[in-house]
Structures are given as structure tokens and as C-alpha cells.
Amino acid sequence: MLHHFASKEALLDAVIDRLETHAQEALDRADGLAVDSTAMLNSLMEIWHPASHTMQLLAMLTTDAVSEDHPGRYRMSRLRRVHEHILEKCFAQLAENGQMRAGIDPPFAGRAFMDLVLGHAVREKTVRAMQKELHHDSPLEDLAKLLRAFLQPALEN
């Protein structure tokens, strides 16, 4: 890798640049991600799938960036907040359309989804890798369950 990059810091910057591009693409599409519950579920599968390389990389670097001297700490924190903001905007749009349960706070919903996505991204590389047989604990099923918990009962299907 150092053949292509001058230093470890340059490599880290390139990786974060790639994650920022992914986040910007999601941000550019934010208005159409949650027109209804089906579109929101599709967005979760497409953009925030915990088994995707992008989300697993984001989870790893976000966890690593808790160190105060991490060279990418600020950028990783900002990236996580951008994803939370996009999800918050999606939940606000669902609420405006009358599709969210009363009392569900869009900022909380955005943070909760991002937490679940990043937690499952780590789980996919750790727990899932150690499971020797098929288990019915799909990260997408968990995201769908959380989405249904936030939606009006008539819209859960």
C-alpha cells in the first residue's frame, strides 16, 4: 500500500475521502430516500447495509477514532454525524407524511439506526465469522424491525 501512498496518513486520508464521497452521494439523494416505508427500507439495504464494505470500514474507523490523537478523528466524527443527519432527515420526511408513530423523535431515530448499522457492521466481521451454522439473525431483518417499531401500525408491512 505504501507504494501507492506516501505515508499511512495519506492512505487514511484516501480511505476517508472515499467514505466522504459515499456520504455525499447519500446526502445528495436524501430527499428521495424516504418517500414511504418501502423506499426507506430499500435505502437502508442500499446505503447502510451493515455487511457492505463501506459500512464496515466506517464502523472500524469510527471505533478507532475515539482516540484523541487519531489523525482522522475529526473527519470520522463528522462522517458519522452526516449519516445520522441523513437518517434524521428521512425520519422527519416519514413523520411529515404521517407515517411515523406519534412521539418518535427523528434525531433519535437517526442516531438509533446509525448505531444499529455500525454495531451490526462490527458483528458481521466478528460474531458472524465465528458462527459455524446458519443463524436467523440477519442485520437487515434487525433494521427492518427497528423501522417497523418507528412506523404507524397500519404501515408496518
Structure pTM? 0.88
Q: Write the pLDDT tens digit of every residue in 9-34.
A: 888 999 999 999 999 999 999 999 99
State the Cα–Cα distance between residues 104 and 110, nearest whole angstrom.
11
* pLDDT of 156 higher than 60: no
What pLDDT, on the 0 to 100 scale, is given for residue 89? Answer: 95
Q: Interior CA angle at 46 toward 117 and 71, to 5°?
A: 50
What pLDDT, on the 0 to 100 scale, is given for residue 131? Answer: 63
Q: Write the pLDDT tens digit of every residue in 117-143.
A: 999 998 887 876 666 666 666 888 889
Per DSSP, helices labelled H in the chain are 8-28, 37-47, 53-64, 73-96, 106-125, 127-130, 139-150
What pLDDT, on the 0 to 100 scale, is given for residue 5? Answer: 85
The mean pLDDT value of the chain amounts to 89
The rounded percent of the chain whose pLDDT value lies above 90 is 62
What pLDDT, on the 0 to 100 scale, is given for residue 92? Answer: 95
What pLDDT, on the 0 to 100 scale, is given for residue 134? Answer: 61
Q: What contacts 5, CB < 8 A, 6 or more positions away?
A: 11, 14
List the domains of the chain with CATH numbers.
Answer: 8-155 (1.10.357.10)
What pLDDT, on the 0 to 100 scale, is given for residue 14? Answer: 92
